[in-house]
Structure 1
Amino acid sequence: MTSILVRVAREPLVHFLVIGALTFGIERAFGAADDTSTTIVVTAETRQTLAEQLERSEGRPPTDDELERAIQRWTDDELLYRAGLQRGLMRDDERVRERVAMKMGRILREGILVPEPTEDELRGWFAENEARFAEPPRYDFTQVFVSGDPTTAIPRANEILAELRSGGDPAQKGDTFSGGRRFRKRKVQDIEASFGEAFAAGLEVQAEGTWERLESPHGQHLVRVDKRIPGEAPDFEAVRADVRKQWEDEKRDAGLREALDRLRSSWSVVRE
């Protein structure tokens, strides 16, 4: 299971977490319902939520009978949920445990108030994280594919490589490759996804206009770098919306870490 702590391990911690609101959110999350009680309360909020879900799925407000059936299904699920808790099923099911932890994380995160950033603050954060928004280098390249076991494919690929370096026509060489022969404006991460890290690394250091043999999980490739398109520094105004979103996400993640620290102080952790 991916740890909630790992997901929020970004620093620094925010100083503007509203402690009172957060405490209220924690108490509400843990105290909203007594899962050990034999009484199940269908609150007005639950009825409203079920009605809204039905309206979204049907495209119209639900009838009284439809809403009643939805409430009955919700009640049945709640009965099963509490019965499962009594049997300790949540402790034995990692998927259930993860879902509860993720939901609690969302509740805590929603209690974090992020103030409006100033222009200087946003631009300063952008300057520190400019690499996140830069346009990466891209590559145009042509490849000739050679299939088969490496023991036979590599010698054959080397023969074709010599022919290509002597001016041979790539369209007349090699085997059929489902991705084609010519690739245009491909980012390194896309090349890695299609051909693997070793292939992409070889392409990055290869000189333009030259043929080299590169290997991928598919087989052997004779590759010519046709054009290397340099990366571009980002323009702040062009990425302003994305900058603000990531700034806010970082602050909320940091706030969640502080909330987790507050929770941790209320519990004892014993390692056996």
Structure 2
Amino acid sequence: MLKKLLHEPLLHFLLLGGLLFLFYSFSQHDENTENSIVISKGRIEQLTSDWEKKFFRTPTKEEKQKMIENEIYQTVLYREALKIGLDKNDDEIKRRLAQKMEFVAYDTYELPLPSDEVLKKFMREHPEKYKEEGKIHFTQNMVGSDTTEFEKEYTLTKFEAGNIFGRPFAEVLFTLKPDGKVHKIESTYGVHEVRVIDRPIEKPKAFDTVKEKLKDDYLSLQREQKNRAIYEKLKSQYNISIEEK
């Protein structure tokens, strides 16, 4: 009986018709989904929140409607752009999507606040960033000038010396030692004869005065290292090849 039914043309026709109906139904569903734009309640709340942060007030009914219309406008043009492939091989779009992915991928953790002991250790490991700005005591006069008339004494930080004589002058000046020797250094004004009188040893700043900066720098470094680890993990999922010329 079963064999006979399997050979019935009518059964074949019905089965084929059923399959075509299912295929058409799924196709229509996909097409309807693709052509549907839903501005969800959550999205409206997000748009409203963004508005309030920008303008420090709640949008009016008309402003809210305009905000929703703008969202629809952008979504329609975005969908059409995807249809004709405007997102392909566009460096600007690639850059913006990569930036958004950074927020998505890197905003998945919360760093613990460091203790004072951790911050003090971090300070010892990076002493150059948390020390008092040293001052150098020196004399200078222009080459060819009357030394007794133009020689002057200065006690300046590197930044201050750069403002007066130029950064290249300051860079060279702060390599010199208080050895009593006369050194020639060039600046935008000409050539100077410089003698370093004293250069106090730079001391680390008091912990309490740099604690907040230490915390910011420490967390920034931790975040950078964590983000790098996340990136390397994502990168490891791809087979990367670079074509040589």
Query: How far apart are the structure 1 equivalents of 2:160 and 2:75?
Result: 45
Query: Residue 72 of structure 1 corresponds to which residue in structure 2?
Result: 69
How high is the TM-score relative to the length of structure 2?
0.65
Matched, 1:40 2:37: yes
| One-letter identity of the residue aligned with 1:200 | A
Matched, 1:201 2:183: no
Query: How far apart are the structure 1 equivalents of 2:197 and 2:69?
Result: 65
Distance 1:123 1:228, change over 3 A: closer
Query: How far apart are the structure 1 equivalents of 2:135 and 2:81?
Result: 53
Distance 1:215 1:185, change over 3 A: closer
Query: Residue 101 of structure 1 corresponds to which residue in structure 2?
Result: 98
Q: Which of the residues 187, 200, 213 maps onto 1:215?
A: 187
Are the equivalent residues in 2 in contact too, given 1:138–1:229 (CA < 8 A)?
A: yes
Q: CA deviation at 1:238?
A: 1.8
Query: How far apart are the structure 2 equivalents of 1:44 and 1:117?
Result: 39
Q: Which of the residues 102, 107, 111 maps onto 1:110?
A: 107
Q: Which of the residues 213, 221, 227 maps onto 1:250?
A: 221
Other structure's SS at 1:52 match: helix
Distance 1:189 1:38, change over 3 A: farther
Name the larger-Rg structure: 2
Identity of aligned residues (%): 21
Query: How far apart are the structure 2 equivalents of 1:44 and 1:140?
Result: 68
Two-structure CA RMSD over aligned residues (Å): 3.8
- How many aligned residue pairs are there? 207
How high is the TM-score relative to the length of structure 1?
0.59
Q: Which of the residues 203, 207, 218 maps onto 1:236?
A: 207
Distance 1:169 1:189, change over 3 A: closer
Query: How far apart are the structure 2 equivalents of 1:104 and 1:37?
Result: 24
Are the equivalent residues in 2 in contact too, given 1:108–1:259 (CA < 8 A)?
A: yes
Of 233-242 and 130-139, the range deviating more from structure 2: 130-139
Are the equivalent residues in 2 in contact too, given 1:185–1:229 (CA < 8 A)?
A: no
Are the equivalent residues in 1 in contact too, given 2:119–2:218 (CA < 8 A)?
A: yes
Query: How far apart are the structure 2 equivalents of 1:49 and 1:142?
Result: 64
Q: Which of the residues 51, 56, 60 maps onto 1:59?
A: 56
Gaps of 5+ in 1: 1-35, 145-159, 172-181
